[in-house]
Chain A
């Protein structure tokens, strides 16, 4: 009882502290910066923190946290804007928003998507903060019960979402997830520090960074398809585009589905508290959860269902509250952003741990208030601009494509500020585009990439420390969570199996004439990936080899079954996926009305532009490349008049110089053609000696 009184007086005290006009003004300033960073693909809270922390040295601790948390809490509010409008996630946290938000924009309902997303972001953010506030007294005891085995179980639970996120093609989803896991295993292994598949490239030592992967998988394909379809994003005219009424509709949607928003907020906050599970996973797990539990979701998700937007957006704002839990209670940062924030604790002489829960409780509560207030402010500001933003969807492709692409390249380069980021963007762009075209689900791949590292690490910790006992250890959280994960993983597979008529169904549709199409190439590609890993991994030590071997062999076995299924089930039924029957959980490639020849030609032109952009960057730097790209594309490809081209090019130049160079001080890629030659030689050499 006494504790409760102390808690509530501290909470009130913190509110009084926060109501100081100067602190509120700083919170507001942080929110503005955060919203701006969230909108630009590739930039987000981490860059914001690195940028703003030096300014907080001389602030008092409450003001410092108000400023920084204000900024980081709302990047996941505004990141919806490019996700809905262009299909380009603003941060890794809004990749799942693309799935339903972007189709809504194409249907002229960008306003509704914004209304729902902003409101859900606010509700999620507040619920996350409340959850943090309420759980403060029990934080430490809970965290001490949750060891590596429990964290492993939670991560496996996240991974089990793969099957529901695969829609009607569960086997392809599993294959994609395995490829994602292997992507995560590139770099030095967590145990022996041996480099896996790095081919002497230092870039690959610490693994492939998530930013270029997400932008490559989701953003580049969207831009490519826009360039191929040669339309504006919205397929309906301006008179059919919703504005204020649509936003209001979105707000009502949020409250009609209040129970869903509440659930995903809890998921977001809970996962946010697990170190290593960041932004890039919570939205997908929440999306998968909605997909599994919402009525009729299986049929409508991925085609512009507002509940998909709500699930993703509610969860990613709630995660900040959760992420503060291990940071405040133990000084264990849950993410890079939290690691930076931890530095601020130390700068202000605060020690994470018991002190924050007893002596400095009012500081902790001031953080709770900061997050909650920032979410309200952020949503309010987004609504103010939503009307104008929604109109961007009406602009022609020839203006949108070069401008957005230039920004994507700068954003991707922020992964590690290495040329490798640009190659990674391109490689995953290819992969993403083909997956989208061939209807292989992309979400499982992302889930694999993000969770792969964590699952491997926690598996080693658990097995090293507890042997097999990790599975059956008090308080039995592990077996319970694993059981739920198993059911979640298997039930969609079983459903698809039954839908296909079980073994009998398969036998009936058997066709001895194999179906040969583009899918065959996709299967061969995946087979080559697994095969290469198995080949190289067989030469590594046990600890280095175990993870990749298990994943490759599992992936290969699924691949064999799925490939056989595709080859031998006849062209009419088309294996797992015939394009009409199956529920495909991903965006469907546009331009169905275009002939193959036209698509191939336009895709090649687009690729040529991208390669040109990269070459130009290598020779003259990225800023010049961006401007040249905008001018060339708009003039030659879009045949835009100079009176539109010049303002766009100048605008991009000014924006880049002022925002990226002067304010954010982002480093630009340097002309590294010579390096490329040198590095490619070392790759070839290392390929020769596995």
Chain B
């Protein structure tokens, strides 16, 4: 039925166009998106940070696209975000009217050869990623005073986590492999639920983003309640300069850590269906670039206390293409356990 409505819309547009005065070639090129609606698809339910991210993009991207298209957000939850990307890869029209938000860990799930994955992120045109998530491991100081205490612990630290398939779950494994430590993971908690579990003593710590701990649980650091003991890196986040990176603690953290860490850091790149023609891809990438420089966009980031660390589209694309080619079989084996 969508098609019928689109047809009606097109008919109206045509009539309006006929009634209006003739337009030049240059304007026609810019009119690719005139009176169109772009859908930003997000693979998670309303609520939560992925959804909020998509809504922010939907709010700001449109005004930088010639023709000022309407932009709406559509939630296509299912399979930990995989359903939406499967749709993008196999069903969505490559007309530049559907934009998809990739999950940070989707490329790992693809590497793991998960049965659910019916896409190849290295073949999708990327618009870019506007932020990076740098993870920390935060542990209650009354239980484990410092990194040495964790390393030599008789009773393993209990880490509340979302469980399989999420970025924090991958990272929780990566800490253990990269630092030769052991953690007792309690899976199944939601994100903020994990923090609450730490606060009430049900868990001793959790893996979370630097922004998350600073924004949502600042007292973990300021009151030394559950300070970060290690951060992902490669460089120290300027907001927590005293916390060592994995590389500070172990200069050679191994292949798994390296494969996982760099890619997970691109927080939710936005992508288009494969085979999208170059015209809309070009228009959208230009708009994306303008949006990243827009004061209004930055004002909204500031209001939400979100950090701006963009990665350009070619860098993300290059990483995905290389990692799909070069991943070592050992790493894939370990990933298989994380994405059953």
Q: Which residues of A contact B (CB under 8 A)?
A: 46, 49-50, 53-54, 57, 143-148, 188, 190-195, 200, 202-203, 205-206, 275, 326, 330-333, 336-340, 342-343, 346-349, 351-354, 416-418, 457, 460-461, 464-465, 620-624, 657, 661, 665, 667-668, 670
Contacts and interface: CB of A to CB of B under 8 A. Distances in A.
Given A57-B59, A624-B4, A665-B72, A342 B163 contact: no
Select the residue from A50, A143, A145 with max chain B CB neighbours within 10 A. A50
B27 interface: no
Contacts of A330: 192, 195-196, 199
A191 B187 contact: yes
Contacts of A331: 192, 195, 216
Contacts of A57: 59, 300
A46 B2 CA distance: 23
A620 B200 CA distance: 54
The 9 nearest A-B residue pairs measured at CB = A339-B47, A621-B1, A193-B164, A623-B1, A190-B188, A340-B47, A205-B79, A202-B79, A50-B46
Contacts of B197: 147-148, 461
A347 B304 CA distance: 5
Interface in B65-81: 72-80
B293 interface: no
Contacts of B51: 340, 343
B276 interface: no
Select the residue from B74, B188, B203 with max chain A CB neighbours within 10 A. B188
B163 A332 contact: no
Contacts of B59: 54, 57
A667 B74 contact: yes
A336 B45 contact: yes
A510 B55 CA distance: 66
Contacts of A54: 55, 58-59
B165 A418 contact: no
B202 interface: yes
Nearest to B193: A332
Contacts of B202: 147-148, 461, 465
Nearest to A354: B219
B80 A205 contact: yes
B124 interface: no
Interface string B198-216: 0111110000000000011
A339 B83 CA distance: 21
B252 to A, nearest CB: 30
Nearest to A662: B5
B2 A206 contact: no
A480 B76 CA distance: 42
A204 B212 CA distance: 31
Given A336-B47, A417-B75, A191 B188 contact: yes
B303 interface: yes
Contacts of A146: 200
B116 A202 contact: yes
B154 interface: no
Contacts of B196: 143, 326, 330, 332
Contacts of B164: 188, 192-193
B141 interface: no
B1 A624 contact: yes
Given A339-B47, A343-B52, A461-B186, A190 B163 contact: yes
A417 B41 CA distance: 12
A50 B75 CA distance: 10
B188 A457 contact: yes
A287 to B, nearest CB: 28
B319 interface: no
A417 B47 CA distance: 16
Interface string B47-58: 110011001001
Contacts of A665: 72
A333 B164 CA distance: 21
B216 A353 contact: yes
Contacts of B58: 54
Nearest to A348: B303
B86 interface: yes
B189 interface: yes
B115 interface: yes
A91 B240 CA distance: 46
B158 interface: yes
Contacts of B55: 53-54, 343
A326 B74 CA distance: 27
A594 to B, nearest CB: 37
A202 B86 contact: yes
A624 B1 CA distance: 7
A148 B203 CA distance: 11
A661 B80 CA distance: 27
Contacts of A191: 163, 187-188
B186 A346 contact: no
B3 interface: yes
Contact of B46 (A332, A340, A461): A340
A349 B216 contact: no
A62 to B, nearest CB: 16
9 contacts: A49-B46, A144-B199, A203-B83, A205-B78, A343-B55, A417-B75, A460-B188, A621-B4, A657-B5
Contact of B187 (A143, A190, A348): A190
B100 to A, nearest CB: 15
B340 interface: yes
Contacts of B199: 144, 330
A204 to B, nearest CB: 9
B275 interface: no
Nearest to B74: A667
Given A50-B46, A190-B187, A205-B116, A622 B78 contact: no
Contacts of B284: none
Contacts of B163: 190-193
B82 interface: yes
B202 to A, nearest CB: 5
Select the residue from B75, B79, B158, B186 with max chain A CB neighbours within 10 A. B79
A367 B292 CA distance: 34
B28 interface: no
B305 interface: yes
A147 B200 contact: yes
B71 to A, nearest CB: 10
B30 to A, nearest CB: 26
A487 B86 CA distance: 49
Interface in B209-231: 215-217, 219
Given A205-B83, A332-B190, A354-B219, 15 more contacts: A188-B164, A200-B116, A202-B79, A202-B82, A202-B83, A206-B80, A275-B190, A332-B192, A343-B52, A416-B76, A418-B78, A457-B188, A465-B202, A620-B1, A623-B1
A621 B187 contact: no
Contacts of B83: 202-203, 205, 418
A522 B199 CA distance: 48
A673 B67 CA distance: 35
A416 B84 CA distance: 11
B266 to A, nearest CB: 21
A183 to B, nearest CB: 17
Contact of A144 (B86, B187, B200, B305): B200
Nearest to B215: A351
A203 B78 contact: yes
A461 B78 contact: no
Contacts of B74: 417, 667
A280 to B, nearest CB: 16
B60 to A, nearest CB: 11
Interface in B290-304: 300, 303-304
Contacts of B2: 621, 667-668, 670
Contact of A464 (B165, B186, B190): B186
Interface in B105-160: 115-116, 158
A460 B202 CA distance: 12
Contacts of A351: 215-216
B1 A461 contact: no
Contacts of B340: 192-195
